[in-house]
A and B are shown apart, each in its own frame.
Chain A
Amino acid sequence: SYVLTQPPSVSVPPGQTARITCGGNRIGSKTVHWYQQKPGQAPVLVVYDGSHRPSGIPERFSGSNSGNTATLTISGVGAGDEADYHCQVWDGNIDLPGVFGGGTKLTVL
C-alpha cells in the first residue's frame, strides 16, 4: 500500500511561515488533501485537490506538490494555527484507497 511520511513536529515563531511536508513515492502525480485537527476536535479540510481552499479557509493556507514531496504552507502563523496537520491521498490501489500521513504537530513558539 501507498505510504505518506510527515515529520512529527514543526515549530515556528508567530508571524512567520510554516511549511509542513508530506513525502511519498511520486506524490507529485497524485492529488493531495490537507486537514487541520485541534485537540479534541474532528479534522477540518483546509486544502483539497492540492491547492484549493474550502470556503472559510484563509488565504494564508496554501498547498503545493512536486516530485516526492507535497507541502502545506501557512503564512503569518498565529496561536490559532497550533494544531495537528494531516495529509491524505486517494490512491488508485483499490484495496486501500484512503491513505493518511502520520500527522505533524505545529507549535507556534
Chain B
Amino acid sequence: QVRLQVSGPGLVKPSQTLSLTCSVSGGSMRIDGYYWTWIRQRPEKGLEYIGYIYHTGSTNYNPSLKSRIAMSIDTSKKQFSLKLRSVTAADTALYFCARGSQGGDGVCFDNWGPGSLVTVSS
C-alpha cells in the first residue's frame, strides 16, 4: 500500500513562499499512469485541485494559481514538492498530496496523505 506524507512549515508570512514536500513510500513513482497531485481545502470549503507532476517532470497547474506555482519531483528520493509564491491569507488551507491513478476514462485519487495545515499570517 502506498503511503504519502506531507512535510513543511505550518506557518508562512504573507508575501513569502509556501514550500511543501510529499514523501512516498510503499511503491514506485516511475510507473506510467500515476499523477502526483497537490490538492488543498480552505477552511469550511471544498477540495481544490492545485496541480500534478508526472514522473517525467511534466506538469499541469490550476490556471487560478499557475502564475505562483512550481512543482518538482525526485523519483530517486521518492518525493515531490510544491512551491507557492507570494502567499496571502487566502492561501491558508489544509494541503494534501495524493496519487492520481489513470483508470478507464479518467483519473481518480486513490491514495492521500493525511494533510498539512498551512496558515498564512504575520
Query: What is the interface of chain A, defined by CB distance below 8 A to chain B?
Result: 1, 30-31, 33, 35, 41-45, 48-49, 54, 86, 88-90, 94-103
- Asked if residues A90 and B46 are in contact (CB atoms below 8 Å), the reply is no
Q: Chain B interface mostly helix, strand, loop or mixed? A: strand
Q: Contacts A31-B104, A49-B104, A54-B110 known; A103 to B47 CB distance under 8 Å? A: yes
CB distance from A100 to the nearest CB of B (A): 4
Q: Which of B21-29, B72-80, B111-119 contacts the other chain?
A: B111-119
- Asked if residues B46 and A102 are in contact (CB atoms below 8 Å), the reply is yes
- B60, B62, B108, B113: which contacts A49 (Cβ < 8 A)? B108
Q: Contacts A48-B103, A100-B49, A103-B47 known; A42 to B114 CB distance under 8 Å? A: yes
- Asked if residues A90 and B107 are in contact (CB atoms below 8 Å), the reply is yes
- Asked if residues B112 and A90 are in contact (CB atoms below 8 Å), the reply is no
Q: Chain A interface mostly helix, strand, loop or mixed? A: loop
Q: A residues within 8 A CB of B100?
A: 90, 98
Query: What is the interface of chain B, defined by CB distance below 8 A to chain A?
Result: 37, 39, 45-49, 51-52, 60, 62-63, 96, 98, 100, 103-110, 112-115
User: Counting chain A CB atoms within 10 Å of each CB, which of B48, B51, B98, B105 scores highest?
Assistant: B105
22 inter-chain pairs at a CB distance below 8 angstroms, sorted by A residue, are A30-B105, A30-B106, A31-B103, A31-B105, A35-B109, A42-B96, A42-B98, A42-B113, A42-B114, A43-B112, A45-B108, A48-B108, A49-B104, A49-B106, A54-B110, A90-B100, A98-B100, A98-B107, A99-B49, A100-B47, A100-B49, A102-B46
- Asked if residues B104 and A45 are in contact (CB atoms below 8 Å), the reply is no
Taken together as a complex, chains A and B put the C-alpha atoms of A75 and B112 apart, in Å, by 26
Q: When A and B form their complex, which 8 residue pairs have the shortest distance between CB atoms, in order from nearest?
A: A98-B49, A90-B106, A42-B112, A33-B108, A31-B106, A90-B107, A102-B46, A100-B47
Q: B residues within 8 A CB of A35?
A: 47, 109
- Asked if residues A103 and B108 are in contact (CB atoms below 8 Å), the reply is no
Taken together as a complex, chains A and B put the C-alpha atoms of A96 and B49 apart, in Å, by 8
Closest B residue to A102 using CB positions:
B46
